[in-house]
Amino acid sequence: MNILVVEDEKSIREVEAAYLKQQGYTVFEAQDGEEALEVFADKSIDLIILDLNLPSIDGIEVCRKIRNKSLVPIIMVTARIEEIDELVGLETGADDYIKKPFSPAILIARVKSALRRVDEGIVEEMDLHIDPEKMLVEKEGKKISFTTTQFNILYTLVKNPGKVFTREEILDRAYDDSLPPDVLDRTVDAHIKSIRKKLDDKQKYIHTVIGKGYKFGE
């Protein structure tokens, strides 16, 4: 597995690379956005750890550029917890967010989770067709693009129609997480909002169950 670490601060980049190498991953390093795009174009990268604040092209722009041509999992790293909500709202296309500083355990857990592929069959509910192998969602035969996390959340709900999932359960299935609980809730809500928007939901697919969580269908 090839992981690209994009970080302009050399000491942080080297520490991240060292943790990952310890786990047996092959690590490529880039010190800015331009170099990241070059390495990504040149190598077969399986996952990207991307710092938000970079010189020249910032992390958001790098993320969007890569997402335009690839579904590679992207974990964005930020210094401020508030930035995570903003980033989710911005639809950067990142799959997960980590706040700096983080422990090796958190980094590795997030990486493993992002790399874990959903190994279950195609689901068809109402007019949706979902293929986890291809990370494909079609509504009335028309393809809709989701980030990996959004895909995992939608897939969890659609696979279990009518079952109510708490925000915690949704996150457990979407990715390993060690953020404070209030951030978890708001993160799920932000993702659900994005999913509903992309599906043009109109109260048809995902329903809010007040005081509990979310469910798919009636």
By CB under 5 A, name the binding residues for Ca ion.
8, 51, 53
- Sheet containing 213-216: give its strands across: 165-166, 213-216, 206-209
In the complex, the smallest distance separating the C-beta of residue 180 from Ca ion, rounded to whole angstroms, is 23
In the complex, the smallest distance separating the C-beta of residue 55 from Ca ion, rounded to whole angstroms, is 8
Nearer to Ca ion, 32 or 206 (CB): 32
Nearer to Ca ion, 54 or 137 (CB): 54
Structure tokens at 14: 């080297």
Q: Are the C-beta atoms of 183 and 133 separated by less than 8 Å?
A: no
Nearer to Ca ion, 74 or 199 (CB): 74
Angle between helices 167-174 and 181-199 (to 10 degrees): 80
| CB-closest chain residue to Ca ion | 53
Nearer to Ca ion, 97 or 216 (CB): 97
In the complex, the smallest distance separating the C-beta of residue 64 from Ca ion, rounded to whole angstroms, is 18
Give residues with Cβ within 8 angstroms of 183, minimum separation 6: 81, 84, 85
In the complex, the smallest distance separating the C-beta of residue 36 from Ca ion, rounded to whole angstroms, is 12
* Strands 74-78 and 47-51, bridge-based pairing: parallel
In the complex, the smallest distance separating the C-beta of residue 97 from Ca ion, rounded to whole angstroms, is 14
Nearer to Ca ion, 10 or 117 (CB): 10
Q: Are the C-beta atoms of 188 and 156 separated by less than 8 Å?
A: no
